[in-house]
């Protein structure tokens, strides 16, 4: 029951006019949304493709590696910069329109601590505070920075609990993933990325903790990938590994997972010490979980130990330690497992690298 002024009865014609106006507004708003470039086969061109690709929805520069010298045991490290382009029309005249968002993740994996030390940044691109430049690698958020300099990269991450200040020396040419850098992620050719890796990076620099800077050396792996439709329909996440092989070679393998844990698509490549590259077809790559670790914070279970088959090579991945879960909800909005691992075949260590496990707590949404 209502009190006061009687309700107004609108004629049907007026209701239709209001509905039509609302529909027109929705259509205009939809038309004003951003249009994203689609990945298609093309030769990658360097140094231009080291830089940002702002026409695409999502892009990242990922550095993972192992360090010696900061303690009695090796320490893993991760440096990641993401660029994401929201649904904002390029015609929006405002200088404050969030045309690109930059996100940074930094982490170290120290067995003496037994869990990740990590930090994160997020900022709107522009005004000199955050940027991902075109033409060459130079991406930064405030005082976090990754850039190509001479024969390599320089990374500086002054995080909350540590500071990484590293030089990354290029010792091998880029490893083009998929079909010369066109990497399929599903049966639909539109589900793909442009993707290359720079493995076997020589690392030198310092790791600072508790006010003490220690010199470190090691090996690292860089991935640079950009796309507008990365996750195929029906996929909830992916498993990925990049391994610097002990013989000087390099191996990358991944699979896209469905809701029941099944493989929807897979791929990867191996480069021999002599530089010969073999690209894997989806049927040649398999990830078989051996052991699950469950996070005491999120309750998510991750298969932190796996058997990986990539072509004729089969090996086991074992984590540096189990608790390498990264909670990125304050920046990227996702929680994932990103951990230092050792590759073992026939009882022998054949390499070191990283394993990434996404979409285990909830479907991955880029």
Let me know if residue 99 belongs to a domain. Answer: yes
pLDDT band, residue 25 (cuts 50/70/90) = very low
Does the pLDDT at position 34 exceed 90? no
Let me know if residue 39 belongs to a domain. Answer: no
Per the prediction, the chain carries an average pLDDT of 88
Mean pLDDT for 220-234 is 89
In terms of Cβ atoms closer than 10 Å to its own Cβ (0-12, 13-18, 19+), residue 43 is exposed
Q: Which domain holds residue 293?
A: 47-357
Mean pLDDT for 338-364 is 93
pLDDT band, residue 98 (cuts 50/70/90) = low
pLDDT band, residue 362 (cuts 50/70/90) = confident
In terms of Cβ atoms closer than 10 Å to its own Cβ (0-12, 13-18, 19+), residue 162 is buried
Considering only residues 3 and 241, tell me which one the structure prediction assigns the higher pLDDT: 241
User: For tokens 């979409």, what's the residue?
Assistant: 359
Mean pLDDT for 111-124 is 94
Let me know if residue 270 belongs to a domain. Answer: yes
CA atoms within 13 A on the CB side of 323: 14
Let me know if residue 365 belongs to a domain. Answer: no
Distances from the Cα of 252 to the Cαs of 31, 56, 226, 269, 351, in angstroms?
40, 23, 17, 5, 12
Mean pLDDT for 242-258 is 97
Is residue 158 within 8 A of residue 142, CB to CB? The reply is no
Helix (H) or strand (E) run with residue 244 in it: strand 237-245
Tell me what percent of the residues of the chain surpass a pLDDT of 90.
Answer: 74
Mean pLDDT for 328-343 is 87
Let me know if residue 164 belongs to a domain. Answer: yes
Let me know if residue 297 belongs to a domain. Answer: yes
**For the segment 125-142, what is each residue's pLDDT rounded down to a tens digit?**
988 899 999 999 999 999
The CATH number given to whatever domain includes residue 308 is 2.40.370.10
Mean pLDDT for 211-235 is 92
Let me know if residue 24 belongs to a domain. Answer: no
The total number of structural domains in the chain stands at: 1
Helix (H) or strand (E) run with residue 15 in it: helix 12-31
Let me know if residue 207 belongs to a domain. Answer: yes
């Amino acid at each position: 029951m209502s009190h006061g002024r009687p309700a107004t009865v609108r004629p049907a014609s007026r209701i239709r006019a209001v509905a039509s106006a609302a529909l027109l507004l929705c259509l205009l708003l939809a038309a004003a949304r951003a249009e994203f470039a689609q990945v298609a086969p093309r030769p990658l061109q360097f140094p231009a493709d080291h830089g940002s690709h702002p026409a695409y929805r999502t892009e990242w520069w990922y550095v993972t590696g192992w360090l010696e010298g900061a303690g009695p045991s090796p320490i893993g490290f991760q440096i990641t910069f993401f660029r994401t382009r929201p649904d904002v029309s390029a015609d929006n005249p405002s200088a404050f329109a969030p045309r690109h968002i930059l996100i940074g993740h930094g982490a170290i994996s120290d067995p003496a601590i037994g869990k990740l030390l990590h930090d994160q940044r997020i900022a709107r691109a522009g005004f000199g505070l955050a940027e991902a430049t075109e033409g060459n690698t130079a991406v930064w958020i405030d005082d976090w920075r990754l850039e190509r300099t001479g024969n390599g990269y320089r990374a500086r991450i002054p995080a909350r609990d540590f500071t990484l200040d590293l030089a990354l020396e290029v010792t091998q040419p880029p490893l083009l993933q998929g079909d010369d850098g066109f990497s399929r992620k599903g049966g639909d050719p539109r589900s793909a990325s442009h993707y290359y890796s720079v493995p076997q990076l020589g690392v030198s620099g310092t790791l600072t903790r508790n006010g003490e800077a220690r010199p470190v050396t090691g090996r690292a792996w860089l991935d640079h990938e950009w796309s507008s439709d990365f996750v195929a329909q029906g996929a909830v996440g992916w498993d990925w590994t990049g391994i610097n092989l002990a013989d000087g070679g390099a191996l990358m393998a991944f699979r896209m997972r469905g809701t029941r844990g099944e493989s929807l698509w897979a791929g990867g490549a191996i480069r021999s010490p002599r530089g010969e590259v073999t690209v894997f077809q989806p049927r040649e790559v398999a990830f078989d979980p051996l052991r699950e670790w469950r996070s005491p914070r999120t309750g998510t279970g991750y298969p932190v130990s796996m058997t990986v088959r990539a072509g004729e090579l089969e090996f086991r991945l074992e984590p540096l330690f189990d608790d390498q879960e990264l909670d990125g909800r304050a920046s990227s909005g996702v929680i994932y497992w990103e951990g230092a691992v050792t590759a073992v075949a026939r009882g022998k260590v054949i390499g070191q690298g990283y394993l990434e496990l996404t979409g285990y707590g909830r479907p991955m949404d880029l």
